[in-house]
C-alpha cells in the first residue's frame, strides 16, 4: 500500500483527488461510507428492494460528511467514447454506458422577475422551451436561502426543506409515491422565450446533484412534469404536435405555439431556440465522483496531514508508506479506528514542523484493485510503483476474465486510473483491459443463487474429495458456455468422472496400446482413428482459443469413445491426446504422461499440430433433399460433380418415388454437402 498511497498523491497533485462535504451513503452495519457503485438493489427476491450495502445487504442511509473523492467525472467523456473500441460483451458495455449516463442538452438561464438573481436549468429538450410553464428547484438548491427575504411563505418552505432532509434516498426516490412540492410565493421567473412570468416551485423529485439542481417544467411533453402539473393545477401548454388531446406527449414532432419557430422539427429547433435565448449546449453525465474514504482499519491510510497553520499537507513521497498502527482496536465503530491511535494520529507538519494530525480514514480497497495490474508487472521494484519498461512489455492486459459485478465498479475505476496516469506521462496506453469475458455464475441445483440462507451451497472441497480435482475442473467447463449462468448438477458430474476413468484405463492394461501398422484387417479403423485424432486436435485448439471449453471437452469424449470401441490406439496417438487433455485434467494427464516413461513434465511438451490432409475426409455424405426436405443421403467421393451426384441419386428408390409424375425445375448443389431438387 505504499504505492497505492503514492498513486493517491499523484492524483492529489493533479487535482484529481479532493475533499468535500457531501451527502454520502452510509452502512450502519459495516460502519463506513460506501461509493455509489457499492450500493446495490439487493437480490431480486428481497422484500424491500432498493439501496443496500453490497457487502452485508444492510439498508444504506444517507449522511452528510466530509470525504475524499477521485474526480472520475473529468474522464466521463473518454470513458464513454472508448467503450466501443473494447472487445467486451454487449451486456457489459451497455451496463457501463448506462452508468456513465450521457445526455445531451442545453443550459438555459431564467431570470427571477424584478431581481438580479437568475436560475440555470439543464434540459435535453430546449425545443419545448415555449411550453415551460413553471420552474422546479431541488429543496437543497443554494438559491433558496439567498431569496429568503423575498419568499412570502418562508415558514412553509423551511418546513418542506427539513422534511426532505429527514427522508432517506430510498423514500425520496420511490417511484410509486405521489409527487410533493410547494410554490415559492412572492417570486416569479421569466420564461426567456415567451417573456411570460412563470411560478417557481420546490419539489423533492428534482435532484440536487444532477444537472443544475433545477428544471424547467414542460408538462405537455414530460410525464413527470405532467403528473406534477395535474396535481397542483399548473398550466399546461402544448408546443409539439403529435400528442392526443389532454395527454402528455413526450415524443418529438413539429413545433406549434412557438412563435417564429413554428413548423420546425424538434431536432432543428433544439439548436435554434438554445441560440435564441443565449443558452449553452451541454453534455451531462450521471456518473458521480468516486468516494474513496473509508472509516475502516483495513485499507491504505490516506497520506494527508492536517496542520493548523499550513492546512492540508500531502505526506512527502519519501515518507511513504504511512503504516497502519497496531495500537488500535480495528473493529468498526463508525469513527475511523485510526483516530484512537496516539502513535498514528499526532505528527509533525512536514512543512512547518508544528503539531499536526493525520487523516484517519483509509482508502476503499478498490483503489488498490484499480491499479494492481500495473504493479504486477514489476512487483519487486523498490524505487517506483512500476517501471515504464515493464509496463510497456506486459500491458495492456490481453484477456481479462471476471464477473459482471465489476461492470460499474472495478472496471470503471481501473479505466479511470489508467487514463489519469497516462495523462501524467506514466503510461502510453489508454485502456487497461482490451478483451474481457464475464464468466457466468454457477447456481445451486435448485436454480437459485448459492447462499447460506437457502442452504443450497455446493462445497467444492467435498466435490473434490468425492470425484477429484480434475473431474470438478472439467465438469465446470463442460456444463455450458463460459458466460452462461447455469445450475450445478450433482448427477451430471459422474459423466466426467467416467470419461477420465476411460482415459486412465487406457494405460492400465485393460485396453491394448498397439502400433499403427500392427494389424492389416483393422487398418481402415486405425486410419479413421488417426483422422479423428487430428480433427480433435484442431477442434480443441480452436475451441480453447475461443474459450469454448464445453465443446472442446465434448470432442475429446468423442475421440475416447471411438478409441475405446476400436480397442486400438498407438502410443504416439495417446501422447498427443494427453497433451491436449492436459490443460483440462492436469493431474491425470501428468500422471499418465510419466507412466509412459517421460521424465519431463507434460507441460513442457509441445502442443500438437494437426495434419491438414488428415482432417479432410475422402468420402463424404451428401444429403439429398426434394423441395428442401431430406429424402435420402448418399456416400460419394470428395469433390464429386453435380452430374455424378445426380446419376447416383437417380437410382435411390425414395428419390424415385418422390419424383414420380413430377418435373424437376431447379437443382441446387452444394459440393460435398447437399443436393436439393426443386419440383413442381
Partner RNA sequence: GCUGGAGUGGCGGAAUUGGUAUACGCGACGGACUUAAAAUCCGUUGGGGGCAACUCCUUGUGGGUUCGAGUCCCACCUCCAGCACCA
Give the footprint of RNA on residues 73-132 (CB under 7 A).
90-91, 94-95, 97-99, 101, 103, 105, 122-125
**Span of 156-164, 340-348, 592-600, 621-629 interacting with RNA by CB under 7 A:** 621-629
- Cell numbers representing residue 605 in the block: 511438451
Place of cell 485434467: 585
Region from 230-238, 269-277, 390-398, 553-561 binding RNA, contact rule CB under 7 A: 553-561
Q: Is 480 in the site for RNA (CB under 7 A)?
A: yes
Taking CB under 7 A as the criterion, which residues in 186-215 touch RNA? 204-207, 210-211, 213, 215
Q: Quick check: 331 and 337 in contact, CB under 8 A?
A: yes
Tell me if 528 contacts RNA by CB under 7 A. no
Sign of CA dihedral 141, 146, 148, 151: negative
Sign of the dihedral defined by the CA atoms of residues 224, 227, 233, 238, in that order: positive
Nearer of residues 359 and 543 to RNA, judged by Cβ? 543
Interface with RNA, residue 46, by CB under 7 A: no
With binding defined as CB under 7 A, does residue 464 bind RNA? no
Q: 241 or 625, CB closer to RNA?
A: 625
Toward RNA, which CB reaches closer, 346 or 657?
Answer: 657
Q: Within a 10 A sphere around the Cβ of 531, how many other Cβ atoms? A: 17
Letters for 340-379 (x = contact with RNA by CB under 7 A, - = none) are: ----------------------------------------
Contact between residue 620 and residue 636 where contact means Cβ atoms under 8 Å apart:
yes
Member of 286, 351, 437, 587 binding RNA (CB under 7 A): 286
Residues 393-432 that bind RNA (CB under 7 A): 404, 407-408
The single residue among 558, 605, 648, 659 that binds RNA, judged by CB under 7 A, is 558
For 311-323, give one letter per residue: b (16+ CB within 10 A) or e: eebbbeeeebebe
In the complex with RNA, the residue whose CB is nearer, 17 or 215, is 215
Residue 267, H or E segment: helix 266-276
Candidates 39-47, 308-316, 319-327, 603-611: pick the segment binding RNA (CB under 7 A): 39-47
What are the grid coordinates assigned to 144, written together? 433558496
Is 142 among the residues that bind RNA (CB under 7 A)? no
CB of 73 vs RNA, minimal distance in Å = 12
Cis peptide leading into residue 363 (ω within 30°): no
The β-bridge relationship of strands 103-112 and 118-123 is antiparallel
Q: Minimum CB separation from RNA for residue 1, in Å?
A: 28
CA–CA separation, 582 and 578 (whole Å): 6
Angle at alpha carbon of residue 294, lines to 292 and 419, rounded to 5°: 15
Minimum distance between the CB of residue 431 and RNA, rounded to whole angstroms? 20
Given a contact cutoff of 8 angstroms between Cβ atoms, the answer to whether 669 and 639 are in contact is no
Binding residues for RNA, total number by CB under 7 A: 87
State the minimum distance, in angstroms, from the CB of residue 136 to RNA. Answer: 8
Helices (H) and strands (E) in the chain, counts: 22, 27
CB of 156 to RNA, least distance (A): 19
Asked if 161 interacts with RNA (CB under 7 A), we say no
Residues 560-619 that bind RNA (CB under 7 A): 561, 564-565
640 near RNA, rule: CB under 7 A? no
In Å, how far are 253, 444, 648 from 634, measured between CA atoms?
62, 46, 8
User: For RNA, which residue of 551, 571, 583, 586 counts as binding (CB under 7 A)?
Assistant: 551
Pair 633, 624: CB distance under 8 Å = yes
Cell matching residue 524: 481402415
Amino acid at each position: 500500500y505504499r504505492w497505492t498511497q503514492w498513486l493517491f498523491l499523484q492524483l492529489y497533485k493533479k487535482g484529481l483527488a479532493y475533499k468535500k462535504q457531501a451527502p454520502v451513503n452510509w452502512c450502519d452495519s459495516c460502519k463506513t461510507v460506501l461509493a455509489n457503485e457499492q450500493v446495490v438493489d439487493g437480490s431480486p427476491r428481497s422484500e424491500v428492494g432498493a439501496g443496500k450495502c453490497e457487502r452485508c445487504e444492510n439498508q444504506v442511509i444517507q449522511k452528510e460528511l466530509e470525504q475524499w473523492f477521485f474526480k472520475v467525472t473529468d474522464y466521463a467523456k473518454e470513458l464513454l467514447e472508448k467503450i466501443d473500441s473494447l472487445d467486451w460483451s454487449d451486456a457489459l458495455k451497455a451496463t457501463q454506458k448506462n452508468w456513465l449516463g450521457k445526455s445531451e442538452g442545453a443550459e438555459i438561464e431564467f431570470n427571477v422577475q424584478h431581481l438580479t438573481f437568475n436560475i440555470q436549468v439543464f434540459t435535453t429538450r430546449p425545443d419545448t422551451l415555449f411550453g415551460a410553464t413553471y420552474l422546479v428547484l431541488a429543496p437543497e438548491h443554494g438559491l433558496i436561502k439567498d431569496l429568503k427575504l423575498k419568499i412570502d411563505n418562508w415558514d412553509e418552505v423551511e418546513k418542506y426543506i427539513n422534511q426532505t432532509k429527514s427522508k432517506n434516498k430510498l423514500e425520496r426516490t420511490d417511484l410509486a409515491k405521489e409527487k410533493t412540492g410547494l410554490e415559492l410565493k412572492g417570486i416569479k421567473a421569466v420564461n426567456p422565450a415567451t417573456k411570460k412570468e412563470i411560478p417557481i416551485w420546490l419539489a423533492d423529485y428534482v435532484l440536487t446533484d444532477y444537472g443544475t439542481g433545477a428544471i424547467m417544467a414542460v408538462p405537455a411533453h414530460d410525464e413527470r412534469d405532467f403528473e406534477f402539473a395535474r396535481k397542483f393545477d399548473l398550466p399546461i401548454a402544448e408546443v409539439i404536435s403529435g400528442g392526443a388531446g389532454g395527454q402528455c406527449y413526450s415524443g418529438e414532432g413539429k413545433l406549434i405555439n412557438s412563435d417564429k419557430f413554428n413548423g420546425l422539427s424538434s431536432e432543428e429547433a433544439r439548436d435554434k431556440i438554445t441560440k435564441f435565448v443565449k443558452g449553452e449546449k451541454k453534455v451531462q453525465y450521471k456518473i458521480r465522483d468516486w468516494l474513496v474514504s473509508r472509516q475502516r482499519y483495513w485499507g491504505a491510510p490516506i497520506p494527508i496531514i492536517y496542520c493548523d497553520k499550513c492546512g492540508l499537507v500531502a505526506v512527502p513521497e519519501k515518507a511513504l508508506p504511512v503504516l497502519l498502527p497496531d495500537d488500535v482496536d480495528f473493529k468498526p465503530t463508525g469513527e475511523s479506528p485510526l483516530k484512537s491511535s496516539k502513535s498514528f494520529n499526532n505528527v509533525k507538519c512536514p512543512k512547518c514542523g508544528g503539531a499536526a494530525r493525520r487523516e484517519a480514514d483509509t482508502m476503499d480497497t478498490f483503489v488498490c484493485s484499480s491499479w494492481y495490474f500495473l504493479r504486477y508487472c514489476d512487483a519487486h521494484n523498490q524505487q517506483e510503483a512500476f517501471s515504464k519498461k515493464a509496463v510497456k512489455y506486459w500491458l495492456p492486459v490481453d484477456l481479462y476474465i471476471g464477473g459482471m459485478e465489476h461492470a460499474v465498479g472495478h472496471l470503471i475505476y481501473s479505466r479511470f486510473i489508467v487514463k489519469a496516469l497516462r495523462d501524467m506521462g506514466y503510461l502510453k496506453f489508454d485502456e487497461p483491459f482490451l478483451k474481457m469475458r464475464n464468466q457466468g455464475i454457477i447456481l445451486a441445483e435448485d436454480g437459485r443463487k448459492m447462499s447460506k440462507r437457502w442452504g443450497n451451497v455446493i462445497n467444492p472441497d467435498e466435490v473434490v474429495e468425492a470425484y477429484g480435482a480434475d473431474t470438478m475442473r472439467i465438469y465446470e467447463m463442460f456444463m455450458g458456455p463460459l458466460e452462461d449462468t447455469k445450475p450445478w448438477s450433482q448427477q451430471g458430474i459422474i459423466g466426467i468422472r467416467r470419461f477420465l476413468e476411460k482415459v486412465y484405463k487406457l494405460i492400465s492394461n485393460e485396453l491394448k496400446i498397439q502400433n499403427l501398422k500392427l494389424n492389416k484387417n483393422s487398418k481402415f479403423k486405425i486410419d479413421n482413428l488417426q483422422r479423428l485424432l487430428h480433427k480433435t486436435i484442431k477442434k480443441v485448439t480452436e475451441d480453447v482459443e475461443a474459450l469454448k471449453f464445453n465443446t472442446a471437452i465434448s470432442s475429446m469424449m468423442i475421440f475416447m469413445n471411438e478409441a475405446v470401441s476400436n480397442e486400438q490406439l498407438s502410443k504416439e496417438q495417446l501422447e498427443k491426446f494427453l497433451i491436449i487433455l492436459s490443460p483440462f485434467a492436469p493431474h491425470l494427464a501428468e500422471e499418465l504422461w510419466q507412466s509412459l516413461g517421460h521424465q519431463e513434465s507434460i507441460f513442457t511438451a509441445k502442443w500438437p499440430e494437426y495434419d491438414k490432409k488428415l482432417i479432410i475426409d475422402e468420402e463424404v455424405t451428401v444429403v439429398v433433399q426434394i423441395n428442401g426436405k431430406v429424402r435420402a443421403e448418399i456416400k460419394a467421393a470428395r469433390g464429386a460433380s453435380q452430374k455424378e451426384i445426380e446419376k447416383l441419386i437417380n437410382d435411390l428408390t425414395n428419390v424415385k418415388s418422390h419424383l414420380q409424375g413430377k418435373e424437376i425445375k431447379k437443382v441446387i448443389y452444394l459440393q460435398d454437402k447437399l443436393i436439393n431438387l426443386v419440383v413442381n
